Amino acid sequence: MNMQSLGWNGFFEASFNSIDENNLIPARIICQHRDRYDILCEAGDLPATIAGRLRHLNDTNQYPAVGDWVAVKVSDDGGHAVIQQVLPRRTSFNRRAVKSGGMPETGGKTEEQILAANIDTVFLVSGLDNDYNVRRVERFLSVAWDSGAMPVLVLNKADLSDDPDSVLAEIAEVAVGVDAVLVSAATGQNMDALMKWVVPGQTVGLLGSSGVGKSTIINFLLGEERQQTQGVRTGDQRGRHTTTSRELIFLSNGACLLDTPGMRSIQPWSNQGGLSRTFEEIESIAARCKFANCTHTSEPGCAVLEAIESGDIDEGRWQNYRKMLREQAYLERRQDQRLQQVERDKWKAITKRMRDHPSKRR
């Protein structure tokens, strides 16, 4: 397998060439097992660990993620490698994660989690069974735009929908300009349409809730039953987690697929314009309000309220937009507090070192 089929290009090559260190080779992270990684390079696939200087970084988003390109040093016997540096990412799927305590409101620590890196196209998969939710599609679409990858909406299980065309029409209204494809991975219906994006040297990620059929789609594209699949629960049509880790999978045509565990919801970590792009028509209408600081609640001349009243803005879509705005504002406040705490800790450490070594003040 050559480097180009792994997704290597001029962007990564320029970054790698700027590293001032000998005896390093580029490799791609294909799987993570807690503190151990599987990498793939021109020498083959190898187990790898991260160098101590990476392990002690305070910013965990600088740790390698599946899909990352890294600079590694291979052992003399060629049996393993040590990851020395993570190359800059072209795209990155980040979400808000909470540790030790559940939700942030209960004391849990809010952290950034890198789901996957360097994805070119992301298939946002929804199942057209009883668990289909257009509001969830909007949320995943916002995260996809923020990642830098190109989103494609894959509406799976078309064979189980009574009226798939109406779903396609609804999607067209909330995802203007985004390709949407009706498929059934179980029956093979229209699956060839996905090959437009599954091409050599490109990495396609699959993102969606449990039970939407991501693993079944991958098995179809692979032409073999590699990914374990399970049915959905009959009571609520929600899926069981069959994929438990993120992994790069290579197709015979030279394309890469990245499977991810199913998620009921996803909390964005930052707003890089994904929210504005997803709800572009709402923000365009809001710009016509009489008052620049309009809260869109009761002000006279509010273009948003008029649009909701006339039906030009769907009430459910408006409420989802407002909810995501509130979440983003809350997260920005949390991140600002975190940055302030990092700065305080830094100066405390400097003061302590000065106190411990008074001669250095001269």
Other C-beta atoms within 10 Å of 217: how many? 26
Are residues 68 and 31 located together in one domain of the fold? yes
Mark which of 202, 228, 259 sits at the end of a domain: 259
Q: Which residue has the higher pLDDT, 269 or 127?
A: 127
> How far apart are alpha carbons 90 and 205 in whole angstroms?
14
Classify residue 295: in a domain, yes or no. Answer: yes
pLDDT tens figures, 186-200 = 999 999 999 999 999
Residue 234: band (very low, low, confident or very high) from pLDDT cuts 50, 70, 90: very low
Q: How far is CA 172 from CA 61, 165, 167, 328, in A?
A: 34, 11, 9, 25
Q: Is 357's pLDDT higher than 80?
A: no
Which helix (H) or strand (E) element contains residue 112?
A: strand 109-117
Are residues 156 and 255 located together in one domain of the fold? yes
Residue 22: band (very low, low, confident or very high) from pLDDT cuts 50, 70, 90: confident
**pLDDT reported for residue 30:** 94
Residue 63: band (very low, low, confident or very high) from pLDDT cuts 50, 70, 90: confident
Which helix (H) or strand (E) element contains residue 50?
A: strand 44-50
**pLDDT reported for residue 262:** 54
Number of domains in the chain: 3
Classify residue 264: in a domain, yes or no. Answer: no
Are residues 145 and 252 located together in one domain of the fold? yes
Residue 354: band (very low, low, confident or very high) from pLDDT cuts 50, 70, 90: low
Classify residue 170: in a domain, yes or no. Answer: yes
Say what the pTM is.
0.80
Classify residue 102: in a domain, yes or no. Answer: no
Classify residue 236: in a domain, yes or no. Answer: yes
**pLDDT reported for residue 17:** 94
Classify residue 96: in a domain, yes or no. Answer: no
**pLDDT reported for residue 343:** 65
pLDDT tens figures, 74-130 = 998 889 999 999 999 999 988 766 554 444 444 455 566 788 899 999 999 999 987
Domain that holds residue 170: 119-259
pLDDT tens figures, 308-330 = 999 999 999 999 999 988 888 87
> Which one-letter DSSP state was computed for residue 35?
T
